């Protein structure tokens, strides 16, 4: 990473009303130290947490709060066009809601609606607010606009609780900005391409307490998502329930639980995608009927009727237009036979085969051993490697397919 990647970059920092606003002082100091030009807009509510004078001193620019004062008018259109990036940190639940719905009752929001540059936001709120369906919907809207969300951290919250919702630390936000500008300036083979990656398991509910799932950790899919982003792609990671995650600024994560939710999310993103890597371990079956109350222990045997889940890969293969489609085949026997059949039946361009019979491969390991089969059936076996290295090999093969 270039030491001066932020040198001369113009950052418009929006600070909203959150206790995390105190971190804006450190963030501004770090950005200025890295050579960035920083202008700060505060919402009126943010003044209760940190003074404009503090941020003006650190940024060496006047801090703007009101659209106008007694002497001048702060031109929000000019501010929106001045910046290379608009960063809202902290982004409170209130400000996120207003951004998502186009409300414009302060200077920060006026500048946001006028911004012609990339927009990033670093949420900050209590855990219950962060997980509220309204907040999730608003965040999803901002992501659909092409904005980048800097992931929230887990830790002690202002309420005294411990959980998700903390604003990312200033040092991590600076890294996001650095990665953004590296990706924007580098001549990368997948620049301009949009990739969908599925990763992790799905869960299929039996009752409010129990569910069916598998051992997938999501490590392989996340490694592929990161490798695709490193190659310049804008990556949409559709991630099943797992404790694994990514903070790569080129990856936007969509969290899902069930096969149906994964199907719905992937198919909604598919028309705009250039390529799909389906690395998730999607459940093939789900309970036909989900009990609305916990099933009590009673009879010696319990029978659960199962029905097929949506076949995501088959749907994508049947509706493929311009996309490259890469699937995975994890087998325990007759590996090559089953992989080649899946490659053909689901209209894939490449399939990644691995076997649970290989030591160090499969679920939960940090390593994997795969064979890549192209559409004509030619295979290339790779030795046992770290999943990061395997991901890079897969992405290299995808780049070759792009130019084939």
Q: What is the CATH number for 180?
A: 3.40.50.1950
Within-domain flag for 115: yes
80 and 39 share one domain: yes
| Residue of 74, 94, 214, 274 marked catalytic | 214
How many other C-beta atoms lie within 10 A of the C-beta of residue 156?
10
247 and 341 share one domain: yes
User: Of 164, 185, 206, which closes a domain?
Assistant: 185
Residue 403 CB-density burial (10 A; 0-12 exposed, 13-18 middle, 19+ buried): exposed
**361's tokens:** 């491969």
220 and 173 share one domain: no
Residue 294 assigned as binding residue: yes
N-terminal to C-terminal alpha carbon distance within the chain? 31
CA 323, distance to chain mean position in Å, is 20
Active site residue 138: no
Within-domain flag for 49: yes
Residue 346 assigned as binding residue: yes
User: Of 140, 163, 185, which closes a domain?
Assistant: 185
Structure confidence at residue 161 (pLDDT): 79
**176's tokens:** 């996001």
Within-domain flag for 2: no
Residue 6 assigned as binding residue: no
125 and 169 share one domain: yes
Judge contact between 155 and 161, C-beta under 8 A. no
CA 344, distance to chain mean position in Å, is 30
Q: Pick from 226, 165, 141, 235: which is nearest to 20 by CA?
A: 165
Judge contact between 227 and 388, C-beta under 8 A. yes
Residue 310 CB-density burial (10 A; 0-12 exposed, 13-18 middle, 19+ buried): middle
Within-domain flag for 5: no
Distances (CA, A) of 264 to 77, 82, 245, 277: 37, 38, 21, 16
Which CATH number belongs to the domain containing residue 324 in this structure?
3.40.50.10300
Nearest-angstrom CA–CA distance, 349 and 317: 9
Going through 116-208 in order, the beta strands assigned E by DSSP cover 119-123, 148-149, 153-156, 162-166, 194-199, 204-205
168 and 198 share one domain: no
Structure confidence at residue 7 (pLDDT): 85
Residue 326 CB-density burial (10 A; 0-12 exposed, 13-18 middle, 19+ buried): buried
115 and 248 share one domain: no
111 and 153 share one domain: yes
Within-domain flag for 3: no
Structure confidence at residue 2 (pLDDT): 42
Distances (CA, A) of 189 to 71, 162, 195, 367, 397: 51, 42, 13, 26, 12
206 and 135 share one domain: no
Residue 342 assigned as binding residue: yes
Dihedral (Cα; 72, 74, 75, 77), 10-degree rounding = -170
Within-domain flag for 4: no
Judge contact between 113 and 102, C-beta under 8 A. yes
CA 290, distance to chain mean position in Å, is 30
Judge contact between 196 and 273, C-beta under 8 A. yes
Structure confidence at residue 148 (pLDDT): 92
Structure confidence at residue 1 (pLDDT): 38
User: Of 185, 211, 243, which closes a domain?
Assistant: 185
pLDDT in tens for each of the 404 residues of the chain? Answer: 344 788 888 999 999 999 999 999 999 999 999 999 999 999 999 999 999 999 999 999 999 998 766 555 557 778 888 899 999 999 999 999 999 999 999 999 999 999 989 999 999 999 999 999 999 999 999 998 989 999 998 888 777 778 888 999 999 999 999 988 887 766 689 988 999 999 999 999 999 999 999 989 999 999 999 999 889 898 999 999 999 988 776 788 999 999 999 999 999 999 999 999 999 999 999 999 999 999 888 777 888 999 999 999 999 999 999 999 999 998 888 888 999 999 999 999 999 998 777 777 767 678 889 999 998 888 899 888 888 899 999 999 999 998 76
62 and 198 share one domain: no
135 and 245 share one domain: no
Residue 296 assigned as binding residue: no
Residue 311 assigned as binding residue: yes
349 and 395 share one domain: yes
Within-domain flag for 398: yes
133 and 259 share one domain: no
Within-domain flag for 356: yes
**Total of domains in the chain:** 2
Judge contact between 270 and 262, C-beta under 8 A. no
Nearest-angstrom CA–CA distance, 16 and 38: 16
Segments forming the whole domain that contains residue 125: 10-185
């Amino acid at each position: 990473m270039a030491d001066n990647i932020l040198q001369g970059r113009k950052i418009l920092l929006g600070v909203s009303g959150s206790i995390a606003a105190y971190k804006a002082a450190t963030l501004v100091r770090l950005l200025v130290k890295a050579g960035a030009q920083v202008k700060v807009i505060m919402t009126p509510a943010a003044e209760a947490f940190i003074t404009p004078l503090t941020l003006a001193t650190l940024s060496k620019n006047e801090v703007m709060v009101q659209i106008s004062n007694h002497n001048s008018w702060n031109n929000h259109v000019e501010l929106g066009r001045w910046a290379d990036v608009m960063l809202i940190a902290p982004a409170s639940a209130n400000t996120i809601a207003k951004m998502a719905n186009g409300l414009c009752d302060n200077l920060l929001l006026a500048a946001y609606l006028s911004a012609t540059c990339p927009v990033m936001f670093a949420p900050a709120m209590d855990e219950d607010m962060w997980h509220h369906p309204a907040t999730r919907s608003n965040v999803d809207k901002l992501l659909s606009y092409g904005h980048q969300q800097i992931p929230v951290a887990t830790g002690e919250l202002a309420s005294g609780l411990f959980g998700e919702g903390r604003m990312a630390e200033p040092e991590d936000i600076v890294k996001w900005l650095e990665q953004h500008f590296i990706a924007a300036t580098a001549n990368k083979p997948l620049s301009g391409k949009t990739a969908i990656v599925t990763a992790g398991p799905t869960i299929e509910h039996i009752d409010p307490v129990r569910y069916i799932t598998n051992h997938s950790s999501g490590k392989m899919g996340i490694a592929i998502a990161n490798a695709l982003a490193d190659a310049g792609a804008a990556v949409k990671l559709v991630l099943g329930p797992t404790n694994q995650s990514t903070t790569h600024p080129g990856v936007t994560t969509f969290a899902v639980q069930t096969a149906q939710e994964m199907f719905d999310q992937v198919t909604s993103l598919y028309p705009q995608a250039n390529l799909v890597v389906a690395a998730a371990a999607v459940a093939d079956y789900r309970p036909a009927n989900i009990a609305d109350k916990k099933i009590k222990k009673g009879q010696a045997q319990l029978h659960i009727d199962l029905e097929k889940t949506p076949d995501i890969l088959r749907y994508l293969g049947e509706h493929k237009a311009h996309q490259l489609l890469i699937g995975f085949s994890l087998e325990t026997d007759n590996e090559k036979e089953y992989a080649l059949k899946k490659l053909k039946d689901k209209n894939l361009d490449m399939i990644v085969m691995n076997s649970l019979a290989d030591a160090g491969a499969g679920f939960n390991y940090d390593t994997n051993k795969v064979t890549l089969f192209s559409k004509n059936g030619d295979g290339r076996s790779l030795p046992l490697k770290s999943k990061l290295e395997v991901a890079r090999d897969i992405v290299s093969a995808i780049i070759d397919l792009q130019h084939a």
